[in-house]
Amino acid sequence: MSAKHDSTHPPTAPAATGFSPGFAALGLEASLLATLDTLGYEEPTPIQREAIPPLLAGRDLLGQAATGTGKTAAFTLPLLQRIAHGAKHRPAALILVPTRELAIQVGEAVQRYGKELRISVLAVYGGQAIGPQFHALKRGIDVIVATPGRALDHIRRETLKLAHVQTVVLDEADEMLDMGFAEDLDAILEQTPATKQTALFSATMPQRIKSIAHRHLKNPVEITIAKEPVKAGATPRVQQTAYVVTRQHRGVALTRVLDMAGPKSALVFCRTRVEVDEVTAMLNGRGHRAEAIHGGMSQPQRDRVMNAFRTGQTELLVATDVAARGLDIPHVSHVINYDLPSSAEVYVHRIGRTGRAGREGAAITILDPREQRLLRSIELYTKSTITVASVPTVADLRTKRLERTKASVQEAMEAGDLDRFKGVAEALAATGDPIQVAAAAMKLIYRSQGGERVEQEIPALPSRSPEPYRPMQRTGYLPARQHPGADRQRRLIMRSGERTPAGRSARGGGEPGMARVYVGAGRDAGIRPGDLVGVIANEAKVNASVIGAIEIEERFSIVDVPMHMAKGIVDVLSLSRIKGRKVPVRLFRD
């Protein structure tokens, strides 16, 4: 860890006493310390120790720290204290984040931390009705947490005025740039006063982030929280397994793996909120006790779900990465990746929730055949081996269920207290073979445990050794599968009839494995590539890196997306707003 900041700027509030000495020493006032004590916070994380004092002193800050390091509290606590001691206009603070899930999560965090100070907060993002946002903004809100697209939409409608904002926070700035929000960020920041305090946080610090910092931050304190290297054998008690199946068999494979493992406390990670709900419904339909947790749930709903999971009423918790951040979940026996994580770091963070305190744990990943090469990058990063195994067959499952039936009977015999049933057993044995009686009883137990459910055989796939992972060097939003040295002349925005180097029309068909989506808005509506990338990534929960070429015409646009995602993207965008209005969206036909 390294930090560069001016120690001549003291905290604006004196250290309070009677609370955590770690947080009290940072200059936070008593009401915030009391809230942290109530929430069970004991010691500040490195980013909190380094960032809170200069932010309290009013300094601009440029911070590099990965997700899960405590960034939200690091910028929220000083922001709340500054508002409580001098905000005269609303909104007093604007926090910009890349996704709606993060907007909800940060909004909830601001609400929790600012409870004693009675500071109001509103999460503003696309995909929700804009009317209630108008009314809330008209009443006046202290802290706005927003995605760039929806914030700019409100600014253009003059329903969000930032002339008196005291503090602006850019959270996950690198991700916002990856999603095409660079111009939106500049446009938003131009609406804020030059005297504001600005804090920018990013997991990485490429030149484009430094460029934004140079334009909008004034002599910032620079803080870097270095990643701790993963040591060989760092997760020795976590058994890591991957099952390779085609996409259409993922759901069956998940239930098969869970039926075989029989976990009492497992976390199932999905990529999107919609997927979380679908997987939860599927698992409950198969007789499992599953609950969903994601950014669209209220705090009371989250509390109920977490209580049920901790007390064993629920055996499976299905979650997105964002919703699972910061959750204290002890004694997780299994972590299931229904989707391969977007990075090795996220994978490590997920599987780190099992195998704790000396216990053994299991990490299971359901893998698409095309993703096998990514396993190699994860193995290199974690310095561990992930076993690629065949999905258990129907015969394997039936054998496992018979073993469980036998174990259930043995447990009942060892527990005793069978006097009430012995008379029935003796009467049945007197009329027939005792073995037949026992077999009939076991059949009933087997059936009650789902043993006679009709099962689908999952086609076996060859599990070859993963190829070495070679990250693509990408410029702009070229197709994700394009080799870095190929098609250099192909541009992001292609005019009608323009030819690619291969000689085909830019509109005459996409890359292999890609589908083309028609969006009924183009240059005359002010559509830019970043608008389309942002709405697809934010609304459809698609990683921006998989979006291919974008063609913008006068009155419509064409976007290349992975074929297996196309229908879902069309369905979501059909219900979303682009540049503040609904537009027709469909699969493009030449």
3-state SS, residue 200: strand
* In the predicted structure, residue 413 carries a pLDDT above the cut 80: no
What sign does the CA torsion over 472, 533, 277, 299 have? positive
Closest C-alpha to 360, from 255, 261, 260, 227: 261
Torsion region of 102: left, alpha or beta (phi above 0 gives left; psi -120 to 50 gives alpha): alpha
Cα separation of 436 and 576, whole Å? 62
Residues whose CB falls within 8 Å of the CB of residue 573, separated by 6 or more in sequence, listed in order: 517, 519, 535, 536, 539, 540, 585
Q: Which residues pair with 539 in a beta bridge?
A: none
> Do residues 242 and 390 touch, judged by C-beta distance below 8 A?
no
Q: How far is CA 241 from the centre of its chain?
A: 22
Quickly state the pLDDT bin for 223 (edges 50, 70, 90).
very high
CATH 1.20.1250.20 fits 472-590, yes or no: no
Cα separation of 108 and 123, whole Å? 9
- CATH homologous superfamily for the domain 2-224: P-loop containing nucleotide triphosphate hydrolases (3.40.50.300)
* Ordered alpha helix ranges (H), 313-463: 321-324, 344-351, 372-382, 394-415, 419-430, 434-448
pLDDT tens figures, 520-563: 888 878 888 878 888 888 888 887 777 888 888 878 889 988 88
3-state SS, residue 359: coil
Helix (H) or strand (E) holding 585: strand 585-587
Cα separation of 439 and 425, whole Å? 12
Q: What mean pLDDT, rounded, does the chain reach?
A: 77
Helix (H) or strand (E) holding 121: strand 121-124
pTM of the full predicted structure? 0.49
What sign does the CA torsion over 389, 395, 401, 402 have? negative
**Residue indicated by tokens 């002193």:** 57
Residues whose CB falls within 8 Å of the CB of residue 69, separated by 6 or more in sequence, listed in order: 45, 46, 47, 225
Closest C-alpha to 31, from 99, 85, 95: 85
* In the predicted structure, residue 361 carries a pLDDT above the cut 50: yes
* Amino acid of residue 544: A
> Do residues 306 and 326 touch, judged by C-beta distance below 8 A?
no
Quickly state the pLDDT bin for 426 (edges 50, 70, 90).
confident
**Which pLDDT belongs to residue 439?**
77
Lowest-confidence segment of 78-82, 99-103, 455-459 by average pLDDT: 455-459
pLDDT tens figures, 386-409: 888 888 887 887 787 777 677 777
Cα separation of 226 and 77, whole Å? 22
Q: How far is CA 112 from CA 42, 79, 130, in A?
A: 16, 13, 24
Q: How far is CA 116 from CA 38, 84, 120, 522, in A?
A: 11, 10, 11, 48
Burial class (CB within 10 angstroms; exposed 0-12, middle 13-18, buried 19+) of 395: exposed
**Which pLDDT belongs to residue 325?**
66
What integer is the mean pLDDT of 307-313? Answer: 86
Q: Strand pairing of 316-319 and 266-269?
A: parallel
Question: What string of DSSP letters covers 502-546?
Answer: TSSBTTS--STTEEEEEES--GGGT--HHHHHHHHHHHS---GGG
* Ordered alpha helix ranges (H), 159-223: 173-178, 182-189, 207-216
Phi–psi pair at 450, nearest 5 degrees: 80, 15
Q: Where are the domains of the chain?
A: 2-224, 238-392, 395-448, 472-590
Question: What string of DSSP letters covers 223-289?
Answer: EE-PPPPPPTTSSTTEEEEEEE--GGGHHHHHHHHHHHH--SSEEEE-SSHHHHHHHHHHHHHTT--
What integer is the mean pLDDT of 251-272? Answer: 87
> Do residues 42 and 119 touch, judged by C-beta distance below 8 A?
no
* In the predicted structure, residue 370 carries a pLDDT above the cut 80: no
Could you count the other beta carbons within 10 Å of the beta carbon of residue 314? 19
Report the top-level CATH class of 238-392. alpha beta
Same fold, 2-224 and 472-590: no
Please tell me what DSSP assigns to residue 66. -
Quickly state the pLDDT bin for 174 (edges 50, 70, 90).
confident
* In the predicted structure, residue 482 carries a pLDDT above the cut 60: no
User: Helix and strand tally (H, E) in the chain?
Assistant: 21, 19
**Which pLDDT belongs to residue 441?**
74
As a whole number of angstroms, the longest Cα–Cα distance in the chain is 94
Quickly state the pLDDT bin for 454 (edges 50, 70, 90).
low
* In the predicted structure, residue 419 carries a pLDDT above the cut 90: no
Q: Strand pairing of 585-587 and 514-519?
A: antiparallel
**Which pLDDT belongs to residue 522?**
85
* In the predicted structure, residue 369 carries a pLDDT above the cut 90: no
